[in-house]
Amino acid sequence: RDAPLVLGIETSCDETGIGIVRGTELLANAIASSMDEHARYGGVVPEVAARAHLEALGPTIRAALDEASVDLADLDAVAVTNGPGLAGALMVGVGAAKALALSLETPVYAVNHLVGHVGADLIGDRPLETPSVALLVSGGHTSLLLVRDLDSDVELLGETIDDAAGEAFDKVARLLGLPYPGGPEIDRAAVGGDPDAIRFPRGLTRPKDLERHRYDFSFSGLKTAVARWVEQREAAGEPVPLADVAASFREAVVDVLVSKAIAACTDLGVPRLLLGGGVVANRRLREVAEARADAAGIALRIPPLSLCTDNGAMIAALGARLIMAGHEPSSLEFGADSTLPV
């Protein structure tokens, strides 16, 4: 049987992503982002995101079909993110997926966004090996997953109990007077800075916290610590060493993310770690992850950045995987669930 031709729709946050795959082969990955519209608010505004998806969906589907040189009529199935994410944004994608599936008389597969991020690693020649630990870090999520089987057995080991890691970058950038999105700005500001200049707190890493929150994350205390440090400097009339603050903040985030991910691999005897999400754009995160995975004998996998940030190709790839593993399609009654568990 030929590998299925699947169109994937991703609208859980501010990216309208339409991807097309044939099995594990990537044919198109078209993206429209409403990021610019959110910039002046310093974060994603749900209503603005939903309206932007509605406007972008048609043209982005068209662009993906053109990129892949396929006709709608050739599709074997449609896959769509139905959660977790922004409710209104998800509904736009789910509605479009059902309309397509109904009119084309194809099955539709509702997929979990976080599992979709792991699905990004299906694309290409070497299939994802399991079991694997996955660390997903973006503006909307910070989650540690144990993937035993991508289409049937994914376990949430831990997640942030407050801000997502990317959100922490965005908030700290803002308090340092840098624009949104904060990740790349902090990266730029950190050039030449000393990552050990200021010892900012590593959330949920004290022995007592580890008992209950071994694989959970917390970044709101770190954000507050940076704010307080800067305020004290300013109150004392001393200049704020921006490069040192940015480098030290970034180090604290990266340190906790990588430590907990490596600990999960070691504890569970899983020698594979996958990274995903927009924060993977952070070079320091990749560097530290590579060094510590290497030292621990863990194989590190990082998909290309275009497949790490939110995209439709990862959703299509997961859909194709479900079909190839013989899963039944979703019934047409499924809804959007902003807090959908893995």
Q: Which residues are annotated as a binding site?
A: 113, 117, 136-140, 170, 183, 187, 282, 310
d(CA 43, CA 342): 25
Q: Which amino acid is at 326?
A: G
Most distant CA pair in the chain, distance = 71
Nearer to ligand KG4, 218 or 282 (CB): 282
Q: Work out the burial of residue 236: count CB atoms within 10 Å of its CB; fewer than 13 is exposed, 13-18 middle, 19 or more buried.
A: exposed
Helix/strand number for the chain, H first, E second:
12, 10
| β-pairing verdict for 142-149 and 132-137 | antiparallel
What residue 46 binds from ligand KG4, Zn ion, none (CB within 5 to 8 A, per partner kind)? none
What residue 249 binds from Zn ion, ligand KG4, none (CB within 5 to 8 A, per partner kind)? none
Q: Please report whether residue 48 would count as binding ligand KG4 according to CB under 6 A.
A: no
Nearer to ligand KG4, 35 or 240 (CB): 35
Q: Which residues are annotated as a binding site for substrate?
A: 136-140, 170, 183, 187, 282
Among 183, 195, 303, 319, binds ligand KG4 (CB under 6 A): 183
Q: How many CA atoms lie within 13 A of 231 on its CB side?
A: 8
Nearer to Zn ion, 14 or 310 (CB): 310
Phi and psi torsions of 189, nearest 5°: -65, -25
Nearer to Zn ion, 244 or 310 (CB): 310
Q: Please report whether residue 248 would count as binding Zn ion according to CB under 5 A.
A: no
Among 29, 81, 138, 311, binds Zn ion (CB under 5 A): 138
Compute and round to an integer the Cα radius of gyration of the chain: 20
Q: Please report whether residue 169 would count as binding ligand KG4 according to CB under 6 A.
A: yes
Among the residue ranges 86-94, 103-111, 303-311, 325-333, the one whose residues contact Zn ion (CB under 5 A): 303-311
Among 281, 296, 324, 342, binds ligand KG4 (CB under 6 A): 281
Least distance from C-beta 232 to Zn ion, angstroms?
A: 35
Q: Please report whether residue 255 would count as binding ligand KG4 according to CB under 6 A.
A: no
3-state secondary structure 27-47: EEEEEEECHHHHHCCCCCCHH
Among 45, 271, 71, residue whose Cα is nearest residue 180 = 45
Contact present, 109 and 80 (Cβ < 8 Å)? yes
Nearer to Zn ion, 216 or 310 (CB): 310
Among the residue ranges 48-56, 135-143, 263-271, 292-300, the one whose residues contact Zn ion (CB under 5 A): 135-143
Least distance from C-beta 63 to ligand KG4, angstroms?
A: 19
Residue located via tokens 């976080």:
114
Return the SS3 of 167: helix
- The count of chain residues that interact with ligand KG4, using the rule CB under 6 A, is 20
Q: What is the dihedral of CA 105, 111, 116, 119, to 10 degrees?
A: -60
Q: Please report whether residue 139 would count as binding ligand KG4 according to CB under 6 A.
A: yes
- Name the site residues for Zn ion (rule: CB under 5 A): 138, 310
